[in-house]
Amino acid sequence: MRRIARTRRIRIEGVAALVAALFVGSMAVTVTATAETDEDPVVLHIAAADHVSLQEATIRADVESKASLIGVLAKEAFLDSYAGLYYDPEGPRVRIKGSIGEDQLKELDTKLSTIGVPAERVKVVSARFTESEMVALADQIGNLIHTDLPYTQYVVKPDIRTESISVSVPREQVKAVDLIIVGVQEQSIIPIEVSGADSMPVTQTCNTTNQCTDYLRGGISLEFVSRQNHYYCTSGVMVRGRGTGNTYMMTAGHCGFDIGDPFYAVYPNSSLHSIGPKHSSTYRSGGDAGLVKVTNPNWTIKPWIYSNYSGVNGQYLVQGTSLNTVGVRVCKSGRTTGTTCGEITDVTLTVSYCEANSSYGNCALPVVPVNHLVESDMCAQGGDSGAPIFSYHLVYGILSGIILNSCTVFYTGITTDANALNVDVILG
């Protein structure tokens, strides 16, 4: 990162990503497994984090994988009163925020049963604000801070669970930010809290190598050469251009500074194997994702994710894509830290990265706000940028950045990435 055997096919699209916040969770788990197990890594993570059997963990993983589809059905049933949803592992159930009549609730229960979600795994709770109201206010706050303090990093997080907005900035800038947004705070009925942080978001590449692969897939070690320097990232997923049919490898947008930068797969003996040039990317307001065009004809393209979790032998099958829901557990496979898992803690997040030398959140150049990010409490380090975020054979996003010395990562949603770059994920 740069500074900052089941058979099922599910494709979930068409609903805006739900709302968000930051603070580090406490249940980040590194996934390990014996060679004999064939459990999904997220199932193992849920079993360890929730202290439940593998059977119950499998049920929870299945419900969590359908959270975004539940959101589609809920939005149809709730209409304007829909305020978002999140997964509550304490339930365990999906909590839908909004209001609905008894007849509509019965109809929703019927629709949920058709996708295999028991009614007891879903609960409707009241909401004071809609997701659109909270996101609009968060965007307003972020714009005010960036305009008045362009060299100061910040994170603005609308939290669907607490129905509040948190603003995290370097400690010495708390008073300045309070003065900037005081007018918004006085006029808003949505609670806003400004706090000082010990560390701010970074994306960062690294300069060590790790795993390799005989196939081109997600989760492998990449090296790219840009502006006469060498950097390392991770491959995300394999995709095809809509209409063109061209094959690309998706990674983080900040991996490769310039169009045409050459990318290579790195093998354990440090040998480099050409993939192709950086083709396009989306960064800042469009998220953080990029495409590398596969021009080397010697590669075999696979809809897999490499994982150091031994149960899948590096052939974790990608069978669909999903939107992101707060509370759902996901994993990532990165070149530096391998497979780690955690909980989605926030969505629709805006963070600001520093692209120059910085000192505790104060940047030597104006900071770069990046929108459409999701937050999770899994662990990652430098070089994991671009890693695929996945769960239960669905891809959720591409790793963008971290908060140093903590298990807090930021990533872009795969639906946002694919639409912005006009590609489709290759499925198996």
**What DSSP string runs through 115-157?**
TT--GGGEEEE--SS-HHHHHHHHHHHHHHHHHH-TTB--EEE
Query: Residue 14 class from Cβ within 10 Å (0-12 exposed, 13-18 middle, 19+ buried)?
Result: exposed
Query: Residue 27 class from Cβ within 10 Å (0-12 exposed, 13-18 middle, 19+ buried)?
Result: middle
Confidence of residue 388 (pLDDT cuts 50, 70, 90): very high
Q: What tokens does 28 get? A: 């980040």
pTM: 0.82
Is the pLDDT higher at 130 or at 147? Answer: 147
Question: Which of these ranges, 11-15, 111-115, 358-362, has the smallest mean pLDDT?
Answer: 11-15
> How many whole angstroms separate alpha carbon 261 and alpha carbon 254?
12
What are the phi and psi torsion angles at 262 (to 5°)?
-75, 140
What are the phi and psi torsion angles at 179 (to 5°)?
-65, -35
Please report how many Cα atoms fall inside a 13 Å half-sphere around the Cα of residue 3, on the Cβ side. Answer: 13
Average pLDDT over residues 349-370: 77
Identify the residue whose tokens are 């310039």.
Answer: 258
Statement: residue 32 has pLDDT above 60: no
> How many whole angstroms separate alpha carbon 375 and alpha carbon 168?
14
Q: What tokens does 31 get? A: 């996934």
Q: What tokens does 50 get? A: 């929730």
Residue 11's pLDDT is: 31
Q: Which residues contact 115 (CB under 8 A, 6 or more apart)?
A: 66, 69, 70, 73
pLDDT tens column, 294-326: 999 989 999 999 887 645 557 889 999 999 999
Q: What tokens does 353 get? A: 């990265």
Residue 86's pLDDT is: 92
Is the pLDDT higher at 396 or at 90? Answer: 396
